[in-house]
């Protein structure tokens, strides 16, 4: 029995049988009919090796299997399984694969001639893998540093990245790789080095973003990469498939299939129903550049045209006017944030330190609810425009309260190590800024909730905010609010930033919202949008809000020269 902690530390989430066979079949499609040496460098209980062996056998292709794993127990299990299916040519190694491989030009390789000493390098025709997905810092400083040095890694990385480098070294020129990893690198800024590495070293054959299809039980959303190792280091075009659950699917033309695998194997894209759930499958050609930065673009040609139309008619991006900030972070919310301060009666800290807080629970697109009357104990002030921590001696009640929670607050060692006071907020932001008008929106939400605060409230760390310190900023904020709350921008967000989580939730990272397109702020249409938004912010009648939202949708679409979107599909 694998215990949870062990799985977390070694990244041992085993691939289910069906997904293993699916991956093996995709690889076999590109395999040459010759003797193929197959490697799984982190084979766990051997599911992928077995699937690859079975599929090659069924295609009458000769093969041998090699497995590595750092865990002997898993390997023993694999050994038994291989015996059962009578694979003759199999070797299993109880070794750390990242140590077994030599890395060319590595700073620790002393050889003058840059020759490989390891037999693993350049030896395999097929690599099939689901490498561990573990942040390297979990391994401990020494091991993490050794890995960074060997694989020339910068910053915090996940173990699957050095594995990708090592697996590439182990492949012969022209060899095939089929890997399952997290899909994070497809769209994140930090995934840029992985995307670059893969496009430089492989002819990309297939990229399948399995989105929220829950094909296996890992905490991350999976993706499959299939490539052929190439000599020439230039990016090549590739086909992609992405599949996401589509709970808003209004399209009645969907195809009924038995399983996600059937959906993947059918050439057709579109809407599918699998066991009562609806999915949208998109296919197309991977492109290498989009407006949002150096990402891989996974859009159908229709979607790509729609995004380009908006990009081309946009006059500005949010980042031309504003920086998006994150809210305050206390790292001890139970001490600093509450809606029950009054209950403390005499023990309540001084009122001037208790400030109203906007938190994601209270935000709606056009107004804030007061479901929770949250206040934050905010021990920061501004003196001559400079951010300062209060002198606790001037606030005896706050001092008493903080002392009551001294142990919890002082456990924030990083704060003390940074030479800060033990009762500070970890990220207080600048106290002078709260008084200005601002847009506030939750980091995670199923729909856009960009709320306009006319000033005064502090913003919680589960939200981002955009502050306008000049009078002329107000119209810009209102325009952004209108654009950002529209269905059109939700569609744009999904297509360009591709960061949907399970159950339709989206991330509204600052780096995304800063890239939102805007029409010319001085245009007549922008003024119309601003006027509708002002009415929306003042209305509390649901019917009126619905009518105004439709008007807004029409105007936002007109401002970008596309058709309005009343329902998201
Ligand atoms: C995500 S599991 C995948 C196992 C198997 N390939 C599958 O798909 O079912 C990752 C495996 O990597 C192994 N592992 C972790 N670090 C390793 C290393 N440095 N060298 C070799 N194996 C390692 C773990 O023991 C675990 O079995």
Whether 92 is in a domain gets the answer yes
Does residue 13's CB lie within 6 angstroms of at least one atom of ligand 1? yes
Whether 357 is in a domain gets the answer yes
Report whether 179 contacts 164 (CB < 8 A): yes
Whether 138 is in a domain gets the answer yes
- Taking only the tens place, the pLDDT of each residue in 110-129 is 444 455 567 899 999 999 99
CA distances for 81 relative to 48, 74, 84, 534, angstroms: 12, 11, 5, 67
The domain boundary, picked from 155, 182, 209, lies at 182
Distance 130 CA to ligand 1 centre (A): 7
* pLDDT score of 239 more than 60: yes
* pLDDT tier for residue 356 given thresholds of 50, 70 and 90: very high
Q: Whose CA is nearest to atom 2 of ligand 1?
A: 12
Q: What is the predicted pLDDT for the residue at 270?
A: 86
Considering only CA atoms, give the Rg of the chain. Answer: 27
Does residue 120's CB lie within 6 angstroms of at least one atom of ligand 1? no
* pLDDT tier for residue 332 given thresholds of 50, 70 and 90: very high
Domain that holds residue 89: 4-182
Q: What is the predicted pLDDT for the residue at 119?
A: 82
Quick one: angle between helices 160-170 and 192-201, nearest 10? 10
Report whether 555 contacts 568 (CB < 8 A): no
CA angle (4, 9, 15) in 5-degree steps:
70
Count of structural domains, the chain: 2
What are the residues whose beta carbons fall under 8 Å from the beta carbon of 566, sequence distance 6 or more?
A: 487, 550, 553
Does residue 71's CB lie within 6 angstroms of at least one atom of ligand 1? yes
Q: Mean pLDDT over residues 458-474, rounded?
A: 96
Does residue 87's CB lie within 6 angstroms of at least one atom of ligand 1? no
Report whether 48 contacts 76 (CB < 8 A): no
Does residue 206's CB lie within 6 angstroms of at least one atom of ligand 1? no
Does residue 70's CB lie within 6 angstroms of at least one atom of ligand 1? yes
CA distances for 86 relative to 69, 75, 81, 230, 334, angstroms: 21, 16, 9, 33, 59
Report whether 248 contacts 537 (CB < 8 A): no
Whether 198 is in a domain gets the answer no
Q: Mean pLDDT over residues 437-450, rounded?
A: 95
Report d(CA 436, CA 474) in Å as an integer. 10
Does residue 146's CB lie within 6 angstroms of at least one atom of ligand 1? no
Does residue 40's CB lie within 6 angstroms of at least one atom of ligand 1? yes
Q: Mean pLDDT over residues 45-64, rounded?
A: 94
* Atom number of ligand 1 nearest to Cα 14: 9
pLDDT: which is higher, 19 or 504:
19
Q: What length does the chain have?
A: 569
Does residue 14's CB lie within 6 angstroms of at least one atom of ligand 1? yes
Dig out the tokens for 441 from the structure: 């929106």
* pLDDT tier for residue 313 given thresholds of 50, 70 and 90: very high
Residue 353: HSE in the Cβ half-sphere, 13 Å Cα cutoff: 27
Does residue 166's CB lie within 6 angstroms of at least one atom of ligand 1? no
Report whether 260 contacts 238 (CB < 8 A): no
Distance 32 CA to ligand 1 centre (A): 27
User: Hey, which of 70, 82, 163 would you mutate to test ligand 1's pocket, going by the most ligand atoms within 8 Å of its Cβ?
Assistant: 70
Report whether 126 contacts 52 (CB < 8 A): yes
Distance 69 CA to ligand 1 centre (A): 6
pLDDT: which is higher, 481 or 215:
481
Distance 168 CA to ligand 1 centre (A): 17
* Max mean pLDDT range (148-152, 211-215, 276-280, 402-406): 402-406
What is the DSSP code string of 60-117? Answer: T--EEEEEEES-HHHHHHHHHHHHHTT-SSEEEEES-HHHHS--TT-TT---SS----
User: Hey, which of 132, 147, 178 would you mutate to test ligand 1's pocket, going by the most ligand atoms within 8 Å of its Cβ?
Assistant: 132
Distance 146 CA to ligand 1 centre (A): 19
Provide the CATH number for the domain around residue 44: 3.40.50.150
Whether 200 is in a domain gets the answer no
User: Hey, which of 21, 40, 44, 68 would you mutate to test ligand 1's pocket, going by the most ligand atoms within 8 Å of its Cβ?
Assistant: 44
Report d(CA 521, CA 526) in Å as an integer. 6
* pLDDT score of 291 more than 80: no
Report whether 14 contacts 136 (CB < 8 A): no
Does residue 46's CB lie within 6 angstroms of at least one atom of ligand 1? no
- Residue 300 burial (C-beta neighbours within 10 Å; 0-12, 13-18, 19+): middle
The SS3 of residue 300 is coil
Please give the mean pLDDT across all residues of the chain: 88
Whether 227 is in a domain gets the answer no
Q: What is the predicted pLDDT for the residue at 288?
A: 63
Q: Whose CA is nearest to atom 13 of ligand 1?
A: 42
Distance linking the first and last C-alpha atoms of the chain: 43
Report whether 133 contacts 11 (CB < 8 A): yes
Does residue 12's CB lie within 6 angstroms of at least one atom of ligand 1? yes
CA distances for 530 relative to 3, 313, 523, 551, angstroms: 56, 18, 11, 12
Least confident of 182-196, 320-334, 352-366, 450-464: 182-196
Q: What is the predicted pLDDT for the residue at 290?
A: 43
Dig out the tokens for 507 from the structure: 């991330």
CA angle (14, 41, 46) in 5-degree steps:
40
Q: What is the predicted pLDDT for the residue at 129?
A: 98
Whether 354 is in a domain gets the answer yes
Q: What is the predicted pLDDT for the residue at 248?
A: 59
Distance 96 CA to ligand 1 centre (A): 9
Q: What is the predicted pLDDT for the residue at 116?
A: 54
Report whether 502 contacts 212 (CB < 8 A): yes
User: Hey, which of 3, 11, 52, 157 would you mutate to test ligand 1's pocket, going by the most ligand atoms within 8 Å of its Cβ?
Assistant: 11
The SS3 of residue 263 is helix
Does residue 188's CB lie within 6 angstroms of at least one atom of ligand 1? no
The domain boundary, picked from 128, 150, 182, lies at 182
* pLDDT tier for residue 372 given thresholds of 50, 70 and 90: confident
Distance 215 CA to ligand 1 centre (A): 18
Dig out the tokens for 221 from the structure: 């959303």
* pLDDT tier for residue 188 given thresholds of 50, 70 and 90: confident
Distance 46 CA to ligand 1 centre (A): 10
The SS3 of residue 522 is coil
Does residue 158's CB lie within 6 angstroms of at least one atom of ligand 1? no
Q: What pTM does this model have?
A: 0.68
* Atom number of ligand 1 nearest to Cα 71: 25
* pLDDT tier for residue 425 given thresholds of 50, 70 and 90: very high
Does residue 47's CB lie within 6 angstroms of at least one atom of ligand 1? yes
Report d(CA 346, CA 74) in Å as an integer. 61
Does residue 44's CB lie within 6 angstroms of at least one atom of ligand 1? yes
Report whether 360 contacts 506 (CB < 8 A): no
Q: What is the predicted pLDDT for the residue at 11?
A: 58
What residue has token string 């865990």?
71
DSSP β-ladder status, 325-326 and 277-286: unpaired
Q: Which of 223, 41, 31, 233 is nearest to 127 (CA)?
A: 41
Least confident of 61-65, 155-159, 472-476: 155-159
* pLDDT tier for residue 350 given thresholds of 50, 70 and 90: very high
* Atom number of ligand 1 nearest to Cα 68: 21
Report d(CA 385, CA 376) in Å as an integer. 21
* pLDDT score of 71 more than 50: yes
Residue 122 — left, alpha, or beta (φ > 0 → left; ψ -120 to 50 → alpha)? left
Does residue 68's CB lie within 6 angstroms of at least one atom of ligand 1? yes
Residue 418: HSE in the Cβ half-sphere, 13 Å Cα cutoff: 12
Distance 42 CA to ligand 1 centre (A): 4
H or E stretch covering 125: strand 124-129
Distance 40 CA to ligand 1 centre (A): 9
Does residue 356's CB lie within 6 angstroms of at least one atom of ligand 1? no
Q: Whose CA is nearest to atom 20 of ligand 1?
A: 96
* Atom number of ligand 1 nearest to Cα 98: 19
* Atom number of ligand 1 nearest to Cα 218: 1
Whether 261 is in a domain gets the answer no
What is the DSSP code string of 440-460? Answer: EEESEESS---EEE-S--EEB
The domain boundary, picked from 182, 205, 234, lies at 182
Q: Mean pLDDT over residues 348-352, rounded?
A: 96
CA distances for 199 relative to 233, 286, 291, 463, 517, angstroms: 8, 11, 19, 35, 28
């Amino acid at each position: 029995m694998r215990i949870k902690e062990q799985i977390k530390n070694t990244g041992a989430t085993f691939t289910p049988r069906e997904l293993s066979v699916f991956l093996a079949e995709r690889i076999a499609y590109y395999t040459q009919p010759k003797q193929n040496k197959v490697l799984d460098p982190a084979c766990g209980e051997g599911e992928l090796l077995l699937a690859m062996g079975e599929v090659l056998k069924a295609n009458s292709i000769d093969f041998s299997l090699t497995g590595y794993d750092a865990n002997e127990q898993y390997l023993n299990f694999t050994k038994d399984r291989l015996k059962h299916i009578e694979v003759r040519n199999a070797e299993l190694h109880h070794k750390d694969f990242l140590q077994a491989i030599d890395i060319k030009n590595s700073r620790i390789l002393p050889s003058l001639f840059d020759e490989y000493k390891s037999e693993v390098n350049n030896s395999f025709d097929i690599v099939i893998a689901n490498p561990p997905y573990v942040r390297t810092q979990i391994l401990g400083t020494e091991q993490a540093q050794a890995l960074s040095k060997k694989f020339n890694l910068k910053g915090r990385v996940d173990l699957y990245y050095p594995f990708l480098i090592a697996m590439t070294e182990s492949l012969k020129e022209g060899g095939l790789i089929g890997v399952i990893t997290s899909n994070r690198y497809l769209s994140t800024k930090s995934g840029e080095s992985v995307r670059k590495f893969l496009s430089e070293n492989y002819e990309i054959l297939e990229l399948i973003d399995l989105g929220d299809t829950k094909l296996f039980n890992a905490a991350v959303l999976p993706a499959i990469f299939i490539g052929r190792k190439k000599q020439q280091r230039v990016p090549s075009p590739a086909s992609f498939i992405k599949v996401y659950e589509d709970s808003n699917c209004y399209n009645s033309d969907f195809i009924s299939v038995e399983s996600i695998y059937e959906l993947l194997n059918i050439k057709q894209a579109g809407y599918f129903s699998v066991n009562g759930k609806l999915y949208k499958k998109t296919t197309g050609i991977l492109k290498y550049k989009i407006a949002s930065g150096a990402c891989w673009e996974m859009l159908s040609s229709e979607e790509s045209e729609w995004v380009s139309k908006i990009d081309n008619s946009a006059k500005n991006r949010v980042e031309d006017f504003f920086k998006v900030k994150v809210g305050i972070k206390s790292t001890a919310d139970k001490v600093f944030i509450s809606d029950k301060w009054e209950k403390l009666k005499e023990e309540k800290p001084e009122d001037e330190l208790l400030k109203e807080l906007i938190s994601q629970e209270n935000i709606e697109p056009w107004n804030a609810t007061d479901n929770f009357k949250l206040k934050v104990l905010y021990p920061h002030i501004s003196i001559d425009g400079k951010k300062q921590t209060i002198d606790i001696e001037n606030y005896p009640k706050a001092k008493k309260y903080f002392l009551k929670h001294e142990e919890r607050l002082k456990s924030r060692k990083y704060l003390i190590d940074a030479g800060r006071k033990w009762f500070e907020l970890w990220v207080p932001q600048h106290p002078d800024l709260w008084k200005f008008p601002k847009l506030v929106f939750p980091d995670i939400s199923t729909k856009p909730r960009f709320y306009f605060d006319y000033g005064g409230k502090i913003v919680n760390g589960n939200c981002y905010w955009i502050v306008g310190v000049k009078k002329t900023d107000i119209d810009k904020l209102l325009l952004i609010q209108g654009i950002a709350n529209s269905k059109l921008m939700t569609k744009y967000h999904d297509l360009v930033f591709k960061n949907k989580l399970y159950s339709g939730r989206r991330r509204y990272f600052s780096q995304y919202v800063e890239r939102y397109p805007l029409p010319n702020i001085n245009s007549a249409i922008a003024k119309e949008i601003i006027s509708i938004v002002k009415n929306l912010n003042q209305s509390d009648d649901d019917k009126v809000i619905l009518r105004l939202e439709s008007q807004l949708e029409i105007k936002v679409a007109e401002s970008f020269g596309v058709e309005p979107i009343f329902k998201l599909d």
